[in-house]
Every structure is written in structure tokens, then in C-alpha cells.
Chains A and B, each alone.
Chain A
Amino acid sequence: MDQEELGKLEARCIQEQPPACVAACPVHVDARAMAAAIAEGDFASAAKIFKKSVPFPGIISRVCDQPCQAVCKRGEAGGAVAVRALEKACLAWAEGGMESGFLPPGKDKRVAVAGGGLSGLTAAFDLAKKGYSVEVFEKEARLGGSLFRFSREQLPEEVIAADLKALEKVGVTIRLSVRAGEDISLESMCSDFDAVYLAPGQQPAGGLGLGLDAAGRWVIDPFTLGTTNPKVFAGGSVRRPPGKRSPIESIADGRRAAVSIDRFLQKVSLTASRSGEGPYETRLFTNTEGIEPLPATPMSAGAAGYSKEEAVLEAKRCIRCQCLECVKVCEYLNSFKSYPKKYIRQIYNNLSIVMGHRHANKLINSCSLCGLCEEVCPEDLNMGLVCKKAREIMVDQGRMPPSPHDFPIRDMLFSNSEKCALARRQPGTSACRYLFFPGCQLSASAPDHVKKTYGFLCEELEGGVGLMLRCCGAPAEWSGRAELFSDTFSDIVAQWQEMDRPQIILACSTCYEVFKTHLPQASVISLWEVLDSSALPDVLGEGAVRGRALAVHDACSTRHEKHIQESVRNILRRLGFQIEELPLAGERTECCGYGGLMFFANRELARNVIGRRIRQSEADYVAYCAMCRDYLASGGKKTYHLLDLLFGSPPDGDAQRKGPGYTLRRENRARLKNALLEELWGEKPIGMEKYEKIRLRISDELRELLERRQILDSDIQQVIDFAEQSGTKLRSSRTNHFLAHWKPAAVTYWVEYAAAEGEFIVYNAYSHRMEVKEGAGP
């Protein structure tokens, strides 16, 4: 995907397509906007919207044959919106509404219109407004043509007269009682005028010498309304089958003819970019599921039309058709207050900026890349793919801001360092049929579960189960660092090959996705599938009660892995739990806020995502990804990890446990490796760095602050180590505390501390990325 493809994706989002009513209306009255204004009681604006699209509003609002009705989405929930009645009401109840008559300078071209019905008059009106001098020839003694077939009650003569006044205003010349073809020949019209529009209602006998089809009817190009004579255009009821008159289509024809004639007289293409004219089918999708049916508002005054109040009620039935399917389910899309078409444009611009502010960085980095949008989008647009690609481009351009992803990337590097990473065959056997890959987050959140699960697998499975502790590289991939990812992953591949290409058992669904995508030659299986097909350990976690319902939070990376989701449910059933399905589950599951590193790029959003998710059910939740569990629990929701229900709650608490902080997560991984090295392989543990032996005393309050500031104990230890070694520190004359700083890589850390009996009391710590030039000098 390159930047050009972004443009194509932008076009896929159909949110800006017109609603069905507008597309079906031959002159595209914006019924949605009109109804919205009426619903607000703003009849004047509604009238303006209506009049913008129609030349004779009084007439149309009484006689339109409403092709919009057949397609109105409200039709699926109680009946189509009474659009014509609303048009009439907005004219009746609009106050003020002075027409502003602005005419362009006159042109020296003359147009003849034969036929004073709706179609001819519309063409005349439109052309005169463009500055042409127009003459209308009408065979009867009055204008209006077939309008007089309507009852006086439906269409009073005063309304016709009032609307037709508009023609005078734009300076149309009217010739009554002149029959085209008899009183004035087509030839003379053609020689006296520069163009002719024939809208006679019925084709005159003989066809005025124009080309005819097999049925003896004028040959009329439906797109331009051109006839076989390039100067002559024809349309209106003459184009319709007998008895199939449509006032609104007659008007649309008049309009189409006016556009053609204008182009013809300006000597420009008759056909270029005219696709939006006339009725068409919209691509807009509008979900009517869950919309409460409401019948049309009755008219208490009968033919006189809606009262103000009734009109407002009826206008409120309009569901304001739009798509926003993705925005409804995705808090991320919702939080930036627009929709993918706009977002992709912003992202496109962001990537193209050479100099100036990149407003969309946060937009690009906040998406969880979960792919739910694609599931609900009628056009299968995946904003996650767009954001991921954009991140890769930013990294490529050297324009990815460092702060959003620096911390999780360092965490990944730590997981893959000597301190935590491990790859061994099962103790006591050289065979390695399987490889258990628990993932860096399970090792960080619940190292105990890793130990127990590995023990269980070694007992259950024949043929040797190897173990690999490390991170799969997902954070690098999510952050757009393609190169870092492939470096990381190639280490894994090399070790896997060394271990004779065992089947990989994955406890984390993100790892599963990564392996499946990037190591397709390997056989991968989820831990849950393995457990589902074996006897289950069942040391129920604290507080869990068999027979109760648990709501399953599917990890977003299992969206397309139904077999994993099924295995999880089977295991729960076998353990004796009821399963409650959340409204968004299975292939429509939501991300917990960790995916795509959302939490690191946009903490507030991630908290809202968590909040929204945990409010979806009263039941306790069960997750099968360590991060999902910790994130949901961090919002205060009792959430079990599936392993809690198999091997018991981990030592740090039941389903309510918040999960360890960043420092402890790292320590857990390092300790897990050391413990396993010693216990299972009888190897020497990895030694500690000197600074790691520095003992810190940190209050709970400060701990929380450090967590928010993403400052690890090891950062603090390094600052103190440096300060105490070098003596480079400040001392407070007030408290005698020391304040020192140290910049191990990109970030400078400051620590306020005091020494106390073999340990250091930490009072505060903060950091910045800006580099401060130090050293003696002026």
C-alpha cells in the first residue's frame, strides 16, 4: 500500500454518499437536511434547502410523485417519511424568506422552448438564470400544461401563478397560443434561435422532421436529451410512456436539457462529468436494525397539510440516514469526532507534509489495529491497515515521533535480552516435538501460570516440549518498525529451526497471529486447542464458582480464529461455567486497549475503551490474553485469565488483581527465566547488574506516579548509581535530599532521594526527552 492506495481506500468509505431519498430524487432535494431543519423547528432554513433544488417549489410540494418514498430507509421501520408534505409545510411555515434575485450579465445567445409545462418552464427558468434570452412557445392560452389536471384542492391556481412569477423575474418571454410545428416551424425556430428545447408533452404528428425510432418516437439521447438535430433537445412527458407522467421527472428533464444547451452554446463537452444528474442508486449503507418503528404522522387538517407541530414530529421520523457503522463500535474512531473518509484524508495529508505541523500523528498512532471496523463496514474498509501502513511510512520517512512507542519497544528489547529470553529443549530429552511459547506478557503478568502450564504440557504431551521465553515482536510491528520486527523475528526463526522445527504452542493470540503470518511454514496451535483436547487441570481460581456465567472477552487477534474462540468456550463449559456472550464477541470482538500500542499513544482513549468494554455485562469476565485481563481488571472489572480457572489464581491475587506494574513485569520475566534455569535445567541463573542491587524504598503514592510516568526502578537505580559513583548531584539546602540525573539512552531521568541504612529513600522522579547541554563554560 502506498500513498496512492490510501486515496483509493478513502474512496471506499461511503459515509459521504447521499441518502437514498436524495439519490432517488431526480433533482436531488436534500430531504435529510430539510427534515433535520424542520425537526429543529427551523422552517426557514428548511425552505431554503428545498428551494435550492427545485424551480417551482409551491407546485412541486403539492404534486411531486415522490420517487424518494420507495427507497426511504424509514420505510423499513413504520413507513417512508412524508417528504412532500414536509416540503409543503416548510413553505407554509417559513417566515421571512425574501428571495434574493441575482442575475448574471446577459448573454447574446437565444434559446427557444416549445411547451409551457413543467419541463419547458424549468429549462426556460434555468437558462434565463444563466443569462440567455429565452422565449417560450405554448400552444394553450395559459402556461402550466398538464398541471391543470390536478384538482384545485391539491394545486390551487394561485400557487401555479405565484410560482410562475419567477419566470418573469428572470426575464423569460412568453408566447401563448403558439403551436410549435404549426404556428412556428422547427426550421424557423432553428434559424431564429441558437438552440431549441422541445417539451410539448406529446410528440406532434410527423415529429417535426426529427429522426425517429422504430416505434415512430423521437430518438432522444437519455443522457444529454439531444435529438438527431444537434441544435435541438427534447424531453419531459414526451419521453415517458403514455399515462406515466411524473412532474418531478419532467422538471429533471428540463434541468438536464438546460445543462446540455448551456454546454452546447459554450461549445464544451455535452457529456463530461455529469454522472450526478437525475436519479441514481446511492452506495450509502444505513443500518435500520434496532430503530423503533414509527408510523407516519397523521395530518389533522387533511389536504391543508401539516401543522407546525405535526411537521416537526414527522421530520423527526427521518433517521438522518448515514453509515458510521464503524464509528458506532469503535471508541477510537468515535473519539476523533469524524469518520474514516475524513481520517484517511487527514492521514494522507499528514504523510505528504514536508514542512509544518503534522496534526494526524496522534490519529495514526491511537488505533488498536484490531480490525473490528472491517467486520462491520459494508465496504470492508480496515482503518487498522491504514494506520499501520501510515506508521510504517512515518518510520521510513524518519518522521515517527519517538515518545509514543519508545517505552513498549524498550520493554520488548528487555524481554528479548539475555535477562529474560530463553530457549531450551525439555529437560532430560533431546526430542523436541513441541515448543511452548507463552509470550512476554504472560511471563510478565503471571509467571506462575507459565511454570505450571509448561509443567502440565511436559506431562501431557509426548515427544518433548521445548520452551521459548521472549517477545514475538508484535510491539515493533504495531509501531511500524518493520526492520526492527524482522530482526527480532528472525532470531526466533533461527532458534526454532535449531530446535528441529517443533510445532509451536502459543498462549497469546497476538503471538499466534504473528507466527501464523510471518512463519507460515511452521505448524502453530493455540494453547487453548491443546488444553481442549486433553484432560483439564481444574484448580479453580479464587472466587470462581462453577455453574455461574462468565462473559468471554475474545482477544481481538482471534477475530478470524474461530477455532481458538471455540476451544476457549469448550474449556469453560467443561470446567462447568455458563458462557455469556458480550454484544461484541467472536469475529466482532473489541480490543482491550493494548493492541496497536493504543495505551502508549493515547492513554485517555485506552481508558475509555476499557471503560466501555467492561460496562457491557454485569457478569465477571474471562479473558485468555494476559494483557486483555490486566487491562480490563485495571478498569475495576473482575476478570479471570483462563489459566486462573485451570491452575488457580496467581499469588498476587484473584480476578480483581490489577496486574503488576512496569517494574514488576520486567522483574517477573527475569525471575521466571532464572527460576526455570535453576529448577528445570540446573543451570546457573543470570547475574545481576551492580546497579540492580541498589535497594529502593518507594511509597505507594510515588509508585503510582512512576507508573504513569513510565519510570522503572532500574532507571532510578541507574541514576543513583551514577550520582553516588561520580558525586554529580545536587543537594537541597532545605531538606538535604539529593537530586541527580542520568541519561541512559533517549530519556533523562531525575531522582530526588536520600540514603538511609543500606537503602535509598526515593522522594520523586521525573524525566524529559529534551537534551540539556551541560558542562563548564560561559
Chain B
Amino acid sequence: MKQKDATPAESEWLCSKCGLPLEIGKVDVGYLGSVFPVDLYRCSQCGQVFVPEDIAQGKMAEVEKLLEDK
């Protein structure tokens, strides 16, 4: 998962709890024992992460399949 996939120009989403805009940050994403650092939007205060639909249904689904067959 390259940075490009994970980060559209800027996010319309705010952290509702902290009232802060999300910022790009490194987030650990793992499956079946493998962990990758991925650039995702997250709240710089509480750490709430945003996984956009296209990543979840696209790249993540692909990687899931790959790891399941490994």
C-alpha cells in the first residue's frame, strides 16, 4: 500500500471527539501475522484512524487475499 493510495489531496473528515482535522500519519495495519506501516489519516490527538472506502474495498481486500493464500 503506497502512500499515494492512502492519501487523497485532503480529507473532509474531522475527528468528532477532538474537533480536529485529520492528519496523515504512519499507522500499523496487520493481518494474519503480517504488519505493515501505512500512511492513513488520523486524529493527531486521540489517534482515531480513517480508512476510506476505496482503500478498504480495494487495496486492503487485495492484500487480505494475498496474505490468506500465503
Tell whether A185 is near chain B: CB-to-CB under 8 Å: no
Given contacts A357-B70, A358-B70, contact A776 B46 (CB under 8 A): yes
As a 0/1 sequence over residues 25 to 48 of chain B, the CB contacts with chain A under 8 angstroms (1 = contact) are: 001111110000000101001111
Tell me whether B48 and A768 are in contact (CB under 8 A). Answer: no
Tell me whether B27 and A773 are in contact (CB under 8 A). Answer: yes
Question: By DSSP majority rule, is chain A's interface helix, strand, loop, or mixed?
Answer: loop
Tell whether B64 is near chain A: CB-to-CB under 8 Å: yes
> Chain A CB within 10 Å — which of B14, B15, B21, B56 has the most?
B56
Q: How far is the CA of A491 from the CA of B56 in the complex (A)?
A: 38
Tell me whether A775 and B13 are in contact (CB under 8 A). Answer: no
> Chain B CB within 10 Å — which of A731, A770, A775, A777 has the most?
A770
| Size bracket, chain B contacts | 20 to 34
Tell whether A730 is near chain B: CB-to-CB under 8 Å: yes
Tell me whether A728 and B48 are in contact (CB under 8 A). Answer: yes
Tell whether A330 is near chain B: CB-to-CB under 8 Å: no
Cβ of B49: which chain A residues have Cβ within 8 Å of it? 772, 774
Q: How far is the CA of A358 from the CA of B45 in the complex (A)?
A: 42
Tell me whether B68 and A403 are in contact (CB under 8 A). Answer: yes
Tell me whether B60 and A768 are in contact (CB under 8 A). Answer: yes
Q: How far is the CA of A738 from the CA of B50 in the complex (A)?
A: 12
Tell me whether A750 and B13 are in contact (CB under 8 A). Answer: no
Cβ of B57: which chain A residues have Cβ within 8 Å of it? 709, 766, 768
What number of residue pairs across chains A and B have CB atoms under 8 A from each other? 97
Contact of B31 among A728, A733, A764, A769 (CB under 8 A): A769
Given contacts A361-B68, A401-B68, A772-B27, contact A767 B56 (CB under 8 A): yes
Tell whether A222 is near chain B: CB-to-CB under 8 Å: no
Tell me whether A730 and B56 are in contact (CB under 8 A). Answer: no
Cβ of B47: which chain A residues have Cβ within 8 Å of it? 774-777
Q: How far is the CA of A434 from the CA of B8 in the complex (A)?
A: 63
Tell whether B17 is near chain A: CB-to-CB under 8 Å: yes
Contact of B60 among A401, A741, A770, A775 (CB under 8 A): A770
Tell me whether A739 and B64 are in contact (CB under 8 A). Answer: no
Tell me whether A771 and B51 are in contact (CB under 8 A). Answer: no
Tell me whether B13 and A357 are in contact (CB under 8 A). Answer: no
Tell whether A732 is near chain B: CB-to-CB under 8 Å: yes
Tell me whether A731 and B16 are in contact (CB under 8 A). Answer: yes
Q: How far is the CA of A316 from the CA of B41 in the complex (A)?
A: 64
Given contacts A358-B70, A770-B30, contact A734 B51 (CB under 8 A): no
Tell me whether A357 and B69 are in contact (CB under 8 A). Answer: yes
Tell me whether B69 and A750 are in contact (CB under 8 A). Answer: no
Given contacts A361-B69, A739-B50, A776-B45, contact A729 B27 (CB under 8 A): no
Cβ of B16: which chain A residues have Cβ within 8 Å of it? 727-731, 738
Q: How far is the CA of A739 from the CA of B70 in the complex (A)?
A: 32
Q: How far is the CA of A739 from the CA of B12 in the complex (A)?
A: 11
- Which B residue's beta carbon lies closest to that of A767? B56
- Which B residue's beta carbon lies closest to that of A752? B53
Contact of A358 among B46, B50, B51, B69 (CB under 8 A): B69
Tell me whether A766 and B53 are in contact (CB under 8 A). Answer: yes
Given contacts A750-B51, A766-B57, A771-B29, contact A731 B69 (CB under 8 A): no
Residues of A whose CB lies within 8 Å of any CB of B are 356-359, 361, 401-403, 709, 727-735, 738-739, 741, 748, 750, 764, 766-777
Residues of B whose CB lies within 8 Å of any CB of A are 12-17, 21-22, 27-32, 40, 42, 45-51, 53, 56-57, 60-61, 63-65, 68-70
22 contacts between A and B (CB under 8 A): A357-B69, A357-B70, A359-B69, A361-B68, A401-B69, A403-B65, A403-B68, A728-B46, A729-B16, A730-B14, A730-B15, A730-B16, A732-B14, A739-B13, A739-B50, A750-B51, A767-B56, A768-B61, A768-B64, A770-B64, A772-B51, A774-B49
